[in-house]
Amino acid sequence: MNKSYDVIIIGAGIGGITAGIFLSRQGYNVTIFEKNATPGGRCGNIVKDGHRFDIGATLLMMPGVFEKIYSAFGRSYTEELKLYRMDPVYKVNFNNGEQLYFSSDLAEMQKQFESLEPGSYEKFLKLIYKGYGTYKQSMKHMIDHNYSSIFDPAIINNVFLLIKSKAFTDHYKLISRHFKNELLRAILSFQNMYLGQDPFSASAIFTLIPSMELTEGVWFPEGGMNGITENLSSIAEENNVRFIFNSPVKRIKVSGNTSEGIILADDSFHKADIIISNADLPYSYNNLLPDSGKARRINRLNYTCSAFVFHWAIDTIYPQLKQHTVFVPESYKDSFHSIFKDKSLPGEPIFYIHSPVKSDISAAPENQDSISAIVPVGHIDNKNEQDWGTLKTQAREAMFKRLSEEGMNDFEKHIKFEICYTPQTWKSAFNLSAGATFGSLSHNIMQMGYFRPHNRHKIYKNLYFAGGGTHPGNGVPLALMSGKLTSERILKEFN
């Protein structure tokens, strides 16, 4: 490299920090400006009175991605992060009393599946086998790849992969062809919640998620998911990445086909040779850059749902709850219709609860718990306004009623304090467009791979993007991959 370039990264999320590490290791001068007081974004945490809550993600998936990224840093992710394997991955409760523990114990899975639907276990094994094959091929040909043009040969491979995996079929429809029992159908499709999308319209390619859960495992880091943020931030600082907190960016200054630097909320200007926006991608186009047709096209794309996330400090531990417990309503389809069509809260909400002390006792004082309850709800839609305060109360009461039915009728009495994130909170605290909790842009077929917004601006040649809104997509592992891919593109184009 003939020149040491000055790089500014907007936002200290997982994607931005990862990109910063890759570039700093190649001699670039990297500074990350973060609007909040701490790094991580939705992979941050809340600590109060001895209780610790993860703000967003509550589980670590795709450990192979962590292994690849950390190896590129000259580190071992298993040495950097102390991980607990969650098994069962989760307990799923149907409101008619049926339940299932989703586990890597195949003998137990066989017993459970066959009790619900005779002959289902063999179908399940075939589904898991095919799903994991789809995941491995997707990683090779679709996810871990920078797209340069519509003529990229990888796109042809992707088309064949999509056809082979029946990706043009709805996820729930595909599952329903194999299973008649409604609980089994829900268990093998609800994982779309992780990505904030509707299993009744999401691509069947996402059958790969339960396949990954059982083959590669689901893990929880000691210290919570924010432990990943803290570890990456430490590695970044060791590589001379500079963090500047409490510094919201007002806009990116551009001239011609170049981005010159950033202007902060205090009107100070900071020059850069290269800019990476790790802010929410629609927010970047709508709020940080001049008005453009591209911004208007992005606004017409499909967005993920939002969520009410309740953090409860509990002065007891409930044995009825596993580390992850999912509560599925009888009106499963209607529930998702309310979220995605009506942009509202279902009368019977689907929700899941995270009880971190089941693996990491440091999350709460002794014999207590720091519970997070995630209730998907419609995102903010100006054409369909909602009374979020009323819906928050309804969500809270619906969960207490459901927990009472499971024998936890004194749950509310054991709450020491409550913190709740609403769609408006996600929008204001993290600049998430429409308060779309799971990373604004959804993952339909035309918003994946080459067709997802690219990680370099078409006009401003030194402006790049990282994070869930660009390729490859939402979630902590894909944010890591995003940081890797964006830095690889920069190194290719500037060296």
Q: Give pLDDT tens digits for 192-219.
A: 998 999 999 999 999 999 999 999 999 9
Q: What are 67-107's pLDDT values in tens digits? A: 999 999 999 999 999 999 999 999 999 988 899 999 999 99
Q: How many residues does the chain have?
A: 495
pTM listed for this prediction: 0.96
Tell me the C-alpha distance between 314 and 325, whole Å. 16
- The residue type found at 219 is W
**pLDDT(1) > 70:** no
Describe the crossing of helices 63-72 and 476-494 by its angle, rounded to 10 degrees.
30
Residue 412, pLDDT > 80, answer yes
The tens digit of pLDDT for each residue in 291-347 reads: 989 999 999 999 999 999 999 999 999 999 999 999 999 999 999 999 999 999 999
Query: Tens digit of pLDDT for each residue in 136-185?
Result: 999 988 999 999 888 888 898 889 999 999 999 999 999 999 999 999 99
Angle at Cα 193 formed by Cα 187 and Cα 196, nearest 5°?
160
Instruction: Name the β-bridge partners of 101.
Output: 91
CA 238 vs CA 19, 422, 435, 481: distances in Å: 14, 36, 34, 21
Could you tell me the pLDDT band of residue 228, with boundaries at 50, 70 and 90? very high
Residue 205 has φ and ψ, to the nearest 5°, of -60, -20
Q: What is the pLDDT of residue 357?
A: 97
Whether 2 has a pLDDT exceeding 90, the answer reads no
pLDDT for 494 equals: 93
> What's the Cα-to-Cα distance from 206 to each of 212, 306, 472, rounded to whole Å?
10, 19, 14
In terms of pLDDT, which residue wins out, 154 or 349?
349
